[in-house]
């Protein structure tokens, strides 16, 4: 096991409401989430000496510190690659705590992604930037691959061709997430499950992706409080101990357009993350009682199951059959409803759900849960966590 494993823990989680029009600034959303997370942890702003977030977040650590009443900071960091940063913010916080750089670090993400800047839309500006990313995007944008759905559709079509997966297999993920969201009062789709027939009848966004294969656009914020495992013992909430925390960027990696790999049927960067998580934690896929897998698009959930070792290459379509991902199945998935059903907060709400499962407070609680794996954005350099209550 690595020197990082089990030295830090998540002791607080907080969130705003999830909506399509928050009516508040992104800074206010961040401050609300941080304040709620500290209250949940039984800590005060004066206890915090570190903040970490995404490069895409518009709220600087200094601004959030002022807004949340945090007096001073000894540690701050930003993680790139959009949703791929989610678990990495917790990894950075855990590293800071484990090395003594900081004592209490809060990871946060807040945005008005529905009422403000919408990531799912075509943006020619990205292809015109005088950066390496601009050059990369210039190759795909000229072919119409300028939205995340279109970019994922290319890989999904290849995966279907090689392994025989179908749109209905992708739909199983959407139906499962919505079933879990339907009993989650905080979910946008609370009380609104879907059938596979409804999934199949939903309009095309970019074949083979239907509307119901694509995650939401959401306003809101989430914050996660990390401190040492030792200090966590004196705090009110049951700690979610960080048994593994890893980042990964695969061979020939691009951001959403890694089309030059030989197979183009998987997510090698997630395989790299998985290898690290199992080595760090001393646990294996069979030791996980549930999984929170980043679900911005359903096909990438199947690929993650394979990359993380829950099943072999091309076998995810069979692994997920017969309610395997539902409560009571072999691997309950996204028990909060995921980004398809609860909200799209760049994966941070999934980390919060992992903590609730460890605490035993999820609305879809898995009986006897001890360990859970959580992943960040796919199609990009990414990250992941293994959380344990042991």
Catalytic residues: 294, 344
Dist CA 122 CA 118 (whole Å):
9
CA 64 to chain centre: 22
Distance, in Å, from the CA atom of 52 to the CA atom of 365, rounded to the nearest integer, reads 29
Residues in the chain: 390
Q: Which of 212, 255, 218 is nearest to 347 (CA)?
A: 218
Return the CA Rg of the chain.
19
Q: Is the peptide bond prior to 6 cis by the omega test (within 30 degrees of 0)?
A: no
How many whole angstroms separate alpha carbon 377 and alpha carbon 83?
A: 4
Q: Using DSSP, state whether 20 is helix, strand or coil.
A: coil
Structure tokens belonging to residue 116: 């403000």
Count other C-beta atoms under 10 Å from residue 192's C-beta: 12
Could you tell me the two tokens for 188?
A: 């946008």
Query: 26-41 and 61-68 helices cross at what angle (nearest 10)?
Result: 60
Phi, psi (deg, nearest 5) at residue 140: -90, -35
Distance CA 130, CA 164 (A): 40
User: In terms of C-beta density within 10 A (0-12 exposed, 13-18 middle, 19 or more buried), how is residue 233 classed?
Assistant: exposed
Phi, psi of 178 (to 5 degrees): -70, -30
Residue with tokens 């960080």: 242
* Cβ atoms 346, 377 nearer than 8 A: yes
Rounded to 10 degrees, the C-alpha dihedral 283/284/289/293 comes to 110
Backbone angles phi, psi at 264, to 5 degrees: 55, 35
Structure tokens at 277: 């998580």
Per the DSSP assignment, residues forming a β-bridge with 371 are 388
**Crossing angle, helix 148-163 and helix 299-307, to 10 degrees?**
60
């Amino acid at each position: 096991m690595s020197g990082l494993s089990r030295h830090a823990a998540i002791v607080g989680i907080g969130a705003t409401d999830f909506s399509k029009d928050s009516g508040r600034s992104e800074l206010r959303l961040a401050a609300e989430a941080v304040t709620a997370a500290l209250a949940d942890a039984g800590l005060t702003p004066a206890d915090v000496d570190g903040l970490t977030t995404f490069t895409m977040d518009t709220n600087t650590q200094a601004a959030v510190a002022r807004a949340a009443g945090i007096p001073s900071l000894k540690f701050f960091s930003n993680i790139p690659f959009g949703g791929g940063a989610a678990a990495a913010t917790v990894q950075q916080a855990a590293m800071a705590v484990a090395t003594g750089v900081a004592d209490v670090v809060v990871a946060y993400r807040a945005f008005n992604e529905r009422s403000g800047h919408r990531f799912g839309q075509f943006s020619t500006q990205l292809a015109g930037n005088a950066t390496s990313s601009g050059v990369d995007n210039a190759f795909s944008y000229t072919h119409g691959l300028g939205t995340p759905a279109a970019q994922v559709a290319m890989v999904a079509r290849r995966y279907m061709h090689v392994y025989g997966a179908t749109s209905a297999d992708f739909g199983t993920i959407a139906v499962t997430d919505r079933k879990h969201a339907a009993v989650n009062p905080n979910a946008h789709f609370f009380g609104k499950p879907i059938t596979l027939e409804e999934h199949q009848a939903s309009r095309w966004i970019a074949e083979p992706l239907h509307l119901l294969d694509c995650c939401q656009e959401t306003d809101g914020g989430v914050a996660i409080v990390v401190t040492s495992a030792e200090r966590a013992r004196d705090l009110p909430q049951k700690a979610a101990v960080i048994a593994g925390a890893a980042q990964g960027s695969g061979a020939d990696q691009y951001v959403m357009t890694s089309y030059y790999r030989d197979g183009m049927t998987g997510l090698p960067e997630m395989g790299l993350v998985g290898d690290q998580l199992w080595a760090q934690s001393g646990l294996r896929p069979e030791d996980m009682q549930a999984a929170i897998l980043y679900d911005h698009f359903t096909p990438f959930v199947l690929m993650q199951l394979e990359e993380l070792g829950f099943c072999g290459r091309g076998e995810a379509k069979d692994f997920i059959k017969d309610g395997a991902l539902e409560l009571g199945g072999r691997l309950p998935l996204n028990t909060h409803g995921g980004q398809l059903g609860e909200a799209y907060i760049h994966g941070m709400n999934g980390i919060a759900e992992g903590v609730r499962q460890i605490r035993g407070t999820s609305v879809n609680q898995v009986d006897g849960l001890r360990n859970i794996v959580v992943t960040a954005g796919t199609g990009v350099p990414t990250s992941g966590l293994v959380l344990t209550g042991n």
